[in-house]
Amino acid sequence: MESRPKKLTKGDIVKSMLLWQFFSHANYNYERLQATAFAQCMGPVIKKLYQTKEEISAALKRHLVFFNTEPDFGAVIHGITIAMEEERANGAPITDEAINSVKTGLMGPLAGIGDTIVQGALIPILLALGISFGVQGNVFGPIMFALVLTCCLVGITYSMWMQGYKLGRVAVEKLLEGGIVKDIIAAAGVLGCTVIGALAGKFVTLTTPLTVTIGKTVVKIQADLLDKLMPGLLPLGLTLLVFWLLKKGKSPITIMVYLMIFGAVGSFIKIF
Amino acid sequence: MELWQAIAIALMYYISDSPWPIGMGYWVLQRPLVAGFIAGVILGDPVTGTIIGATMNLIYLGHITAGGTMPGDMALAGYLGTALAITSGLDAQAALALAVPLGLLGTVVWFTRMSISSIFVHWADKYAEEGNIRGVMLMNFVPAQILLFVIKVPTLLIACLYGPDLVKGVLDFLGADILHALMVIGGILPALGIALNLRAILKGSTIPYFFLGFALSVYLKLDIVAVSIFGAILAFLHIQFTRGGENRGISA
């Protein structure tokens, strides 16, 4: 046991965070997903905390186990892990199992939260805005999307990382139980659904050129019937149909093939 | 397409899947919205590139990778699809239909890369055994990135150089009916992108908001910025009103 406490500097922690920011998916693979990325970002920490070959080897192996989470919100796990490694290196009785169980215990819930907020709401909303500029040929659409999303994601990763390190395991578990996360997910869901609804109205297009002749009057199905019931009725119906197929467990690729056949056949027999 | 343009697009296809752009490849550079703009810049027509990319992005709106599954390679659709569409003079909606098979083709690249990269984990294991920190750290990106570069750049270079003539030839051969079919398909495919996204967020009390957003756009013709402002206000109110029901104290 050493008398001098082994302390990580802020520089070590930021360096570790940057390694994750850049390389979290550099070696993404089926066997252990983000395992090597986790080990890589722990590199500076391990180098600082452990001296003997045995300790270093054990620490590296500890972080080469299966790991997969949402890289931005999940960063809180890395913060906690670094804090635990630091305590362990200073003699606290923290076992391999303790570190492992924190990592595996938190990676699932945080992937769920992170994917819902980032991939389910934040990105589609920013994309919807960018696309609505982009389809008009406005290059600020893609540029704004790129800048805003980058700032958001790097900001989330940085603050999660630092919070995790500072607060430790207990605080994070409290945060997960508490209402803030639930509120954010609910709010993201409401905003996301509203924007996606508008997107369905704007960008899914399906019209029919069919006409029905009753006596002398020609009734255009699209203009005289469907648009009177509700504009965009066919696109809405189609979107809900696809949603239902997904819910029933059809794979996106299968549905894509269905849609292509549906569109091709429909256009050849002239109903679209 | 000039050789340097083909090389630039091929390189961007690799870069968008690499860690180098602050880890923002998947989040930003792979999105067809951004890829279309970049391909447009390379081909000297950023506006057309942006329009095509933005339209293509509709089907990848709900693009979610969870646990390493990949429903289509949106970067291949974005970079190659836009390049082919610009050089063959396709309009955005027809280009969207072209993007789909490209995206599916790209999943082959994904599976290859995800499988082979598993080997490098074992190389990292060996360095860990020796207590070699630097070795482990290098194993996270050196071999996998070399592999990715070798798979992606030559493939796309060839596709960029020989693709445009091929696409043009096929379209000329098939004629106007096929173009109409491509437009119809291009019009309905966004339904999949939207539905995929809904699968993640449409549940319980958020369902009415989807229909509200739809109604705001088809009846009032509001643009997306306006709709998202209403959406943000509703999101705030929604939390306020649902909170009381759970009898929670004021926290945070």
The predicted-structure confidence for A160-205, as pLDDT tens digits, reads as follows 999 999 887 676 667 667 677 778 778 888 888 898 899 899 888 8
Q: What is the mean pLDDT of residues B210-221?
A: 94
Q: What is the mean pLDDT of residues B151-164?
A: 91
Model confidence at A104: pLDDT above 90? no
User: Could you tell me which of B181, B9, B218 has the C-alpha nearest to residue B96?
Assistant: B181
List the single residue in B with minimal CA-CA distance to A16: B137
List the single residue in A with minimal CA-CA distance to B207: A193
Backbone angles phi, psi at A64, to 5 degrees: -100, 15
Q: One-letter amino acid identity for A258?
A: Y
pLDDT at A21: 97
Of the listed ranges A5-14, A194-203, B56-65, B127-136, the one predicted with least confidence: B56-65
Contact B128 A206 (CB under 8 A): no
Contact B23 A266 (CB under 8 A): no
Q: One-letter amino acid identity for A188?
A: A
Of the listed ranges A163-177, A200-214, A257-271, the one predicted with least confidence: A163-177
Residues 175-204 of B with CB under 8 A from A: 177, 180-181, 183-185, 187-192, 194-203
pLDDT at A254: 85
| Residue B92 pLDDT grade (very low, low, confident, very high; cuts 50, 70, 90) | confident
Distance in Å from the first CA to the final CA of chain B: 57
| Residue B93 pLDDT grade (very low, low, confident, very high; cuts 50, 70, 90) | confident
Chain-centroid distance, C-alpha A58? 31
Report the C-alpha gap between A15 and B12 in whole angstroms: 27
Max CA-CA distance within chain A?
Answer: 101
Contact A36 B23 (CB under 8 A): no
Q: One-letter amino acid identity for B187?
A: G
Contact A111 B239 (CB under 8 A): no
User: Could you tell me which of A202, A28, A238, A205 has the C-alpha nearest to residue A127?
Assistant: A202
Given its phi and psi angles, is residue A143 left (phi above 0), alpha (psi -120 to 50 degrees) or beta? Answer: alpha
Helix ranges restricted to H, chain B: 3-15, 32-42, 46-57, 74-76, 82-88, 92-130, 133-139, 142-174, 176-188, 190-201, 207-218, 224-245
Report the C-alpha gap between B201 and A185 in whole angstroms: 9
Residue with tokens 């203009």: A223
pTM of the predicted structure, to 2 decimals: 0.82
The number of C-beta contacts closer than 8 angstroms across A and B is: 400
pLDDT at B178: 80
A141 contacts on B by Cβ (under 8 Å)? 33, 37, 50, 54
